[in-house]
Amino acid sequence: MSIKNIWAKMSEQQLIRKSGSLKSSPTSFSKFVELKKVEKALGDTDVIQLQDRLSRIENVYEQFNEIQNEIEAVIDETKLDEQFTERLNFEESFFKITAMAKSILTKYEPKHDDNASVHSNMSAMSITNSMGVKLPVISLPKFQGSYEGWLEYRETFESLVHYNEALNPIQRYHYLRASLEGSAALVIKSVEFTAAGYAVAWQALCDRYNNTKLLVRNYIKAIFSLDIIQKESSAKIRKLLDDLSI
């Protein structure tokens, strides 16, 4: 029997107890990471141990996410906001400490020659400049951590920054930090501002907000909050269709 099937057969109270037992895992992992963070250099054994612990805590997150999905599917509507808060608190703690761990591990990854990347960036800049067309400046959207705004933000940022070959990782990281506010900024707060840190920060952000079930739930919630059309009106129907296409 798969783990998911086991969760599905548990009662609401059993799921809540299991979820509670998993919430302490980031705390113990955090203590280990904080100890390693202050050390000037880690030995091979420390690096391997940090990698193993990181892998284990990521498995804990997967279990927690599955259990929370089950809880949120069966729990009374009046307790749903409380469970959302429990999830967000756990995720904030989890992503903060895993980002810190990944940032430490990037210091011990093999170094790569960036000459090819620099040459590619210069070529891309030349092609862009040779077009000779001055278009209006597209401003990066601000993202504050709402699931409703994540997809629009992610696609815009990826198009303008993440996949822009004219930018190096430090430039991308600068734009990323400048575009985040509120709880979203906290996700990458502990990640070092380095070229290697950009990939860690972007992945942490995607891991946090690419939650399909929560995105669908928020979309459905938004649909039910739409204004009811009391009488036939073409203008109101058009507005309803526009709202549904958000």
Query: pLDDT of 204-240, one tens digit each?
Result: 899 888 876 655 555 566 665 656 666 666 666 566 5
pLDDT at 157: 92
Its pTM stands at 0.50
Domain boundaries, given as residue ranges, for the chain: 1-111, 124-210, 220-246
pLDDT at 34 over 50: yes
Which tens digit of pLDDT belongs to each residue from 17-29? Answer: 878 778 878 888 8
Mean pLDDT confidence for 159-180: 90
pLDDT at 116 over 60: no
Which tens digit of pLDDT belongs to each residue from 129-152? Answer: 444 555 666 778 899 988 778 888
DSSP the chain: --HHHHHHHS-HHHHHHHHHHHTTHHHHHHHHHHHHHTSS---HHHHHHHHHHHHHHHHHHHHHHHHHHHHHHHS-GGGHHHHHHHHHHHHHHHHHHHHHHHHHHHTTSPP---HHHHHHHHHHHHHHHHT---PPPPPPPPB-S-HHHHHHHHHHHIIIIIT-TTS-HHHHHHHHHHHB-HHHHHHTTTS-SSHHHHHHHHHHHHHHH--HHHHHHHHHHHHHTSPP--S--HHHHHHHHHHHT-
Which tens digit of pLDDT belongs to each residue from 52-88? Answer: 998 898 888 888 888 888 887 778 878 878 888 888 8
